[in-house]
Structure 1
Amino acid sequence: MKRKDIPFAFLPVNKPAGPTSHDVVAAVRRCLPRKTKVGHTGTLDPFAEGILILAIGKATRFSDDVHGLSKTYEGTIELGRQTNTLDPTGEVTSEMDVPYLDASIIEPVAAQFRGEIDQVPPAFSAKKVDGVRSYRLARKDKAVVLEAKRVQIEALTIQLIEPRLLRLTVTCSTGTYVRSLARDIAESLGTCGLLASLVRTSVGPVQLNHCVDLAQLSEEGIHQHRLPIGAVLSQYPEIELPADSYQDLVNGRIFPTHEPLPTSFIGRIERHGDVRAMFKCQYQRGVGVSSSFVCYHE
């Protein structure tokens, strides 16, 4: 596979429990031609599994847009035990009895967490305190005080599968910590808890069945599972622009057009059937098209 074959591509990887997100990036780099740019669009905790979308080549310019997509997770909450990391990898900090639970008790609690909520991130997180990553302070047993952040819980279901184990499915905005959600749900049920398992099952329109398994990663596998920008950023329609718009957009000028276009879109310019460049575009009626950045074909 030549590098020019994937100038603008996203690669969804099915990450198993264990490796870090940076481990996955390194594994993909080893399968690609030297100096190919690869970056993730949002980390997944080492104990977690599921979709990790990587940006390859100039698609890294769109990483923030992918990071902002809603995500769906499936996981389990262990009740009656809590660790300092709020997951199975940490040290136990609290143990409590678990009260009797059934659907009539659980559903009203679930309802409290749907919609906009204020959530305190875990101490073991990448949030910064006075310029220092929170997890670095927490590892030194230093007190960490983080401010609550407003997040959106778009959908949430919770089921009791064992007396001390809940199953949850949640669709949420970027910035949501499912570990914190597990902690807060357990507290609302009158006990403590931790997130025992977690699988990210979707990122925007990308589903698990779109992913290449990390264990089967190869140059050919990357080629087969790569996704074009428009397939991932479906909130932005992808529109082919006329060839004469190229110089204006590349040089930061407005390309005048009277053709009605969406307010925000991905602009594509082709040459001889191949993509020459892609732009993140804004359209203003009566003015024309401007671009915040451009990705060139390599």
Structure 2
Amino acid sequence: MTLRPAAALPDTTAPWLLRMWPRRWWPYAQLARIDRPIGWQLLLLPCWWSASLAADAARTMPNALHLLLFLVGAIAMRGAGSTFNDIVDRDLDRRVERTQGRPVASGRVSVTRALVFLAGQALVGALVLFSLNRFSIALGLVSLLIVALYPFAKRVTNWPQAVLGLAFAYGGLMGWAAFYGSLAVPAFLLYGAAIFWTMGYDTIYALQDTRDDAVVGIGSTALYFGDRVRGGVAALYAVAVGCGTAALVTGRVGPAAYLGLAGFAAHCVWQVFRIDAADTTRSLALFRSNRLAGTILFLGLTLDALLRSQGV
């Protein structure tokens, strides 16, 4: 069984996930980006970085329950955020080739039904959030303001990736807060690293839409950097690595964590040299490769926490 062309979106990466759902549910699965798991994976990784860094600083293992809750929360809130974005952007989406087939823009899901679906996903996210300590609950609620701003940022600035960074990187604070019930310098520095990492990879992602974005008046860092996009992404990644280094230093972690950061940095350098603004297929592949970059850092932090918890 294969997806019919009308049902498959251009950037679908896991159509087999759609086929696990009844066909009548496919538009809702697409609203939640079930067929594009890279979104929740990139949302999840800063949460896991933060949880591992917090545990590493305390010389213990990351809280397994927290890691699981962040996984469920990332999937739910990525879906809710994407649904909200599609509702707000439905008129713009109809004018951009890559997005005109999205469920709300194409009329396959009404705005009313999309809002109900959004509420259901938000409820799951709320259940996860209210499973954490009070400080984390309050901190998590603040993030909703940033999430609500993102769909509108592209209409007023060439730096919507900065707003996306503030939202998508928020897990850099949440993992630490869930562990300690407070925040400290390493958490803020890790948040900064995740923000600039997000800005870098989303600039690469935005290279797919520069032509249409320019026509309809949508701003992006890809358009802002123009021919200097490789240098722009390099600068963003450099700041991310710098903030990450400072987070590890202030967190007083061990060698394995720095090895993870070095692997992350090397992957970012590889991406920069591979950027080709004219090759949309490569841009999408580079964007998706950040799943590996983020995982390398997480594994380094987790290995270091394991070693230090054993007194190594």
Q: Give the TM-score normalised by the residue count of structure 1.
A: 0.25
From the two aligned structures, give the one with the greater helix fraction: 2
From the two aligned structures, give the one with the greater strand fraction: 1
